[in-house]
Structure 1
Amino acid sequence: MIVRTLEEVIGTENEVKADNWVSRRLLLKDDNMGFSYHDTIIYAGTETHIWYKNHLEAVYCVAGEGEIETISDGKVYPIKDGTMYALDKNDEHYLRATKDMRMICVFNPPLTGRETHDEEGVYPLVED
């Protein structure tokens, strides 16, 4: 059994920071669960371009407010506490926070833990 607390992750290498967000990575590829699990804060007043070409992601907002805009069709979806969205087609999008948003994220395939977005908003696919 794997048991971890958020407090155990904060301040370690599994807390990855960027200008627009901080991701606390609770389960990673090495945990052999087939997915990774993250507690992420998206900072208010930011816009992040994201395009997970190599991963599927499901996100559940547990606090805050913002929106997601899919680039292919320009649709804008509001996000607030209790909203889930799934990028089931590797959807390229903008993620905007009007208030700090706390998001619970699941990635398949799982992340290794050190990934950050490249210039296209992509996380690299790390092969064994």
Structure 2
Amino acid sequence: MIVRNTVDVPIAPVPNTSVLRGKELVSPADEMGYTAYEIVLTRDQNEVELHPGECLASNHMYYCISGRGRCSLEDGREFKVTPDFFMAFSSAVKCKVTVTSDDPMRLYCLYCQDDNPSKDGVVVRSLSEIIGTDRDVDFGSGHSRRFLLRDDSFPITVTNTTIMMGDDTEKGVPMWYKHHKEACYYISGNGKYVWEEGKEEAEFHPKGTAFLMNKNDPHYAMPTGEAITICAFFPALVGNEKHVFSGGYSVYGAS
């Protein structure tokens, strides 16, 4: 388990692009199958180009945590960017984002290898589109709302996940994806994670904490009230996987 609090991470250039600076929450050295950064854009930054760089074949993805704006693609398509809006692009797709709100736009950015660059590699979804559909998976102590799955042709899954303690989770909510590398970036709520059979624990920081299960670590989540996290899994989930301590249910590779 690797734990990183946003406040402790220095602002630095995002290596996947020549124009962005942010906080590196999942680094290449972590060997998670993807990298992740938090960046903040302001209204005075007109038409910021989001692209993984001319020499890098990386999918690039963006989850809007706060702020508002618009995203424009080279083919003329345009999307409104609002909180809990998610965008995933192939390395072949360039886009520009303009902040339209007085409040800064806080983006969680993810990059992963793109083996099949395509101008058609575009997925945009809002959280409201997913709630109540088959991408809204109830795992007993919360909901995993899945913006990307294997069938979307991206190598990772990105979710908005809510979690809370229940009557039957006095020791915490048991979690383990045995067959996936998982990073959870807590953006709301209080609580802690416990792992290594209770020998290690770390609290959520109010300004954001990233927990990286780089060793497929079995762990317990112990939120105080409801907590919200952006989760990323490598390889991508098929769709109906759930956290279980008995072995990490996964049907990755199944037809």
- Residue in structure 2 matched with residue 85 of structure 1 by the alignment: 211
- Secondary structure at the aligned position of 2:174 is classed as strand
Q: TM-score, normalised by structure 2?
A: 0.47
Greater RCO (CA < 8 Å, at least 6 residues apart): 1
Identity %: 36
Q: Distance in 2 between matches of 1:64 and 1:126?
A: 31
TM-fit CA distance, 1:121: 5.7
Instruction: Work out which of the residue numbers 125, 148, 151 in structure 2 matches 1:30.
Output: 151
2:135 pairs, out of 14, 31, 40, with: 14
C-alpha displacement of 1:44: 4.2
SS at match of 2:215: coil
Unaligned runs of 5+ in 2: 1-121
**Mapped partners of 1:67, 1:119: distance in 2:** 18
Cα 1:119–1:78 change in 2 (3 A) is closer
Preserved CA contact (<8 Å) 1:69 1:75: yes
Shift of 1:41: 0.2
Flag as ranges the 4+ runs of structure 1 deviating above 3 A: none
8 A contact 1:57–1:87 mirrored in 2 = yes
Separation in structure 2 between the aligned mates of residue 75 and residue 118 of structure 1, nearest angstrom:
20
Alpha-carbon shift at residue 51 of structure 1 (Å): 2.2
1:70 aligns with 2:192: no
Taking a change above 3 Å as real, the CA distance of residues 103 and 14 of structure 1, as seen in their structure-2 partners, is: same
Give, in angstroms, the shift of residue 119 of structure 1.
5.1
Q: CA RMSD in A?
A: 1.7
Q: Is the 8 A contact 1:59 1:85 kept in 2?
A: yes
Q: Which residue of 2 aligns with 1:103?
A: 229
Counterpart Cα distance in 1 of 2:229 and 2:192: 12
What is the total number of aligned residue pairs between the two structures? Answer: 128
Aligned pair partner of 2:248 in 111, 122, 126: 122
Deviations 1:20-69 (Å, cap 9, x if unpaired)?
11110011111111100000000145521122220000110110011111
Question: SS of 1:8's equivalent?
Answer: helix
Name the CA distance, whole Å, in 2 between partners of 1:37 and 1:83.
17
Find the residue that maps to 1:106 and give its secondary structure.
Answer: strand
More displaced stretch, 49-58 vs 64-73: 64-73
Q: Which has the larger radius of gyration?
A: 2
1:46-57 aligned at under 5 Å gives the runs 46=169, 47-57=172-182
Displacement of 1:72: 4.9
Q: Is the 8 A contact 2:237 2:250 kept in 1?
A: no
C-alpha distance in 2, partners of 1:31/1:25?
11
**DSSP-derived class of the 2:223 partner:** strand
State the secondary structure of the residue aligned to 1:40: strand
